[in-house]
Structure 1
Amino acid sequence: MSNTQNTKGSILSFGELLLRICPDGDGQWLAENKLPFFIGGAELNVANALALWDLPARYFTAVPENELTAQILNFLEEKRIDTSAVYRHGNRIGLYYLTRGKDLKHSAVVYDRAGSAFADLKPGMVDWDQVLDGVSWFHFSAICPALSQQAADVCQEVLQAACRKHITISVDLNYRPKLWQYGKRPVEIMPQLVQHADIIMGNVWAAETMLGIEVTPEMHESGQQSIYLKEALFSSERIMDAYPRCRAVANTFRFDAGAGIEYYTALYTGNRFYHSATYTTDTVVDKVGSGDCFMAGLIYGFYQKHDPQQLLDFATAAAWGKLSILGDATTQTVDEVYNTMK
């Protein structure tokens, strides 16, 4: 890791706080005048898990100064997420709408994020040295730079500040095609951000879309775990070659299996390749936040210096367990994750 001299500072998650509005698929919410919501945002989901698992979680986002955001930040503080770095300006919180039970990659997702406080951040606005004071781990995702060139420039600015402070950096290559609407493809933006990362998480298809690491064409039809894992190893090695700072690459594989889900993961670090057990379930309560839970599990393990197989198994069990929890954030304790592993 890049910050061996400073491993026990706080873990800062950087990203937009969102409210997820959840209409049902049949329009019953109109008749009942009820619209369920959850507090979301991929990076906040990571912070939520880490705080729940007793690690020092800190969160950076931008929100307007009003009573609504005061209540939300108080709620996060009660979950032991340090919100002292949150930047206050602008006029609104971002929203997204997702029909209950659907996936974030699904056409059912509708974003309402334009003009939000986070989307209106500009380079030069935030004192990053102050935000990063006492931080030893910085986490971001590919969702922020998907918003606009301006948001991508802010990401670059904070990543450079984190590098100057020798902070360990992780990135989740989550791909949201509906967000990349400003005339740039992810592969034109993400490589210069990912060059700062020590830990890269995603899957082989995200690595292709975001970083131009091509997937073997005939692999798509295979459906065979051994072929997918071999591709994950090949992709991981190429990422390591392309990004010298990178120390670990993680891949997740989540497939719809009839009404349920098949899930397994892989990790390449220290020139060794590890993979998890395969989990299957017929009952999925909420697909949102499973990948964030896996990312949190990776951070948890690396931060605690667990061995690679152990940390991968923990992260995988946490991600799989999240599929049976309603809402964006996990409610699983460390003990509950370990029970899932058994």
Structure 2
Amino acid sequence: MTNKKILSVGELLLRICPGGDWLQDNTLPFFVGGAEANVATALALWGRPSAYFTALPDNAMTHELALYLGDKGIDTSRILYQGDRIGIYYLPKGKDLKNAGVIYDRAHSSFSTLKPGSIDWDHVLHDIGWLHFSAISPALNRDAATVCMEMLKAASAKNITISLDLNYRAKLWQYGATPTEIMPALADHCDLIMGNLWAAEKMLGIPVDHSLVETDTKKDYLQHAWLTSEQIMENFPKVKYVANTFRFDNGEKGIRYYTTLYAGKSLYTSTEYLSEKILDKVGSGDCFMAGLIYGLSQNHGNQDTLEYATAAAYQKLFIPSDATDQRPEEIKKFITTYER
């Protein structure tokens, strides 16, 4: 890939973090987030030419948010200012976005009210070499799913590399369509698909073999990663890379974490990381995706790319925000010093 920019597209969100005595203390911490913004932030921090597209209401607060992203090195010139509100979600620090306790307040947000035919994709995709989006956007409503398809067709016509994170958010798929009715047509345009075995089943209809996963052994999970990856490539011929994450509880507050990358008929497996306690689960998968884009966009080797992405994602579990703040040299040092 040349010096063309990497564009992340999705809804900018504010994460409100109720917890402790927030009512009595009259304090409510928040973080700037959104899966795609987290990817854009990591790539900019790591020195890659990063751009971001979203829709925001045109007011003083959202322009401050754009300046905040710009100060991180992200090109925000493509942001569309329209609509009435920014999306919000409520989740205490340390909880997972798949947790039943997550509360979304995103209805009628500027991004969720985007309409087909309303975006100049030639402008948005100008000087872009890589486009990243996630399954969160088409989960919002049917118009958002149609807008995603418009975007992918425009990007494919320009031979832009496309990556997809199969983020599954059950609380968002509420408009009468199932993920398997929407996502396969979008996946047809993608070069890199990232997720896990269960997301591939929910989103793309690639079944989980319960005879393998019920054994709960790493050997069988890796075998399933191979099978799922091969099935994805068979169903979606444009796909060149399939990545899977495996994140399991390790004790009451800990994590066991490893990943795979399937490419060129080979399955690459990362170092396995263990911790007895973590700080914040939000954004770890986004950091992993950013690491994959970071390595693959620079033609790093598949194993090196996977190790970097996995270490970055694992380290994100100890950072109390939605996006990483670790630079490449810190991540690479961690890889070489981690005691296996």
TM beyond 0.5: yes
Whether 2:331 is the aligned partner of 1:340: answer: no
Counterpart amino acid of residue 303 in structure 2: Q
Amino acid at match of 2:69: L
SS in 1 for 2:138: helix
Identity across aligned pairs (percent)?
57
* TM superposition outliers: structure 1 runs of 4+ over 4 Å: none
Match of 2:265 in 1: 271
Measure the CA separation in 1 of the matches of 2:287 and 2:295: 12
Structure 2 SS opposite 1:145 = coil
Equivalent residues, number: 335
2:317 paired residue number: 323
1:281 aligns with 2:275: yes
Q: Which residue of 2 aligns with 1:235?
A: 228
CA distance in 2, matches of 1:96, 1:17: 11
Q: After superposition, what is the alpha-carbon deviation per residue over 1:160-185, rounded to whole angstroms, capped at 9, x for unaligned?
A: 00001000000000101110111111
TM-score, structure 1 as length reference: 0.97
> CA offset at residue 219 of structure 1?
2.4
The one-letter code of the counterpart of 2:322 is: D
1:3 is aligned to none
User: 1:65 is aligned with what amino acid?
Assistant: D
Match status 1:305 vs 2:305 = no
Q: Distance in 1 between matches of 2:102 and 2:334?
A: 30
| CA positional deviation for 1:222 | 1.6
The reply to whether residue 142 of structure 1 matches residue 138 of structure 2 is no
Matched, 1:13 2:8: yes
Q: Provide the rounded CA distance (Å) in 2 between the counterparts of 1:139 and 1:152.
A: 15
| TM-score for both structures, normalised by structure 2 | 0.97
Q: Deviations over 1:251-298 (max 9, x none)?
A: 000000112000000010011110001000112110000000000000
**Alignment match, 2:205:** 212
Q: Indicate the residue corresponding to 1:60 in structure 2.
A: 53
The alignment partner of 2:41 has SS state of: helix
Does the 8 Å CA contact 2:93/2:320 hold for their aligned counterparts?
no
**Map of 1:111 onto structure 2:** 104
- Tell me how far apart the structure 2 counterparts of residues 159 and 275 of structure 1 sit (CA, whole Å): 30
Partners of 2:93 and 2:279 within 8 A in 1 = no
Q: Which residue of 2 aligns with 1:42?
A: 35
User: Cα offset for 1:340?
Assistant: 1.6
- Between the aligned partners of 2:274 and 2:221, the Cα distance in structure 1 is 17
Amino acid at match of 2:83: G
User: How many angstroms does 1:108 deviate by?
Assistant: 1.3
Structure 1 residues without counterparts, runs of 5 or longer: 1-5
Counterparts of 1:219 and 1:150, CA distance in 2? 38
Counterpart CA distance in 1 for 2:319 and 2:216 is 27
Deviation at 1:328, TM superposition (A): 0.3
SS class of match (2:93): coil
- Cα RMSD after superposing both structures: 0.8
> Deviation at 1:7?
3.5
Deviation at 1:221, TM superposition (A): 2.0
- Distance (Å, rounded) in 2 between the aligned partners of 1:116 and 1:220: 39
Structure 1 residue identity aligned to 2:13: L
Q: Using the alignment, how far apart are the partners of 1:83 and 1:234 within structure 2? A: 39
**Structure 2: which 5+ runs fail to align?**
none
Distance 2:32 2:134 in 1: 17
> Cα offset for 1:101?
1.6
Please report how far the alpha carbon of residue 230 of structure 1 lies from its aligned counterpart in structure 2 after TM superposition: 0.4
Instruction: Provide the C-alpha distance between the structure 1 equivalents of 2:175 and 2:139, rounded to a whole number of angstroms.
Output: 8
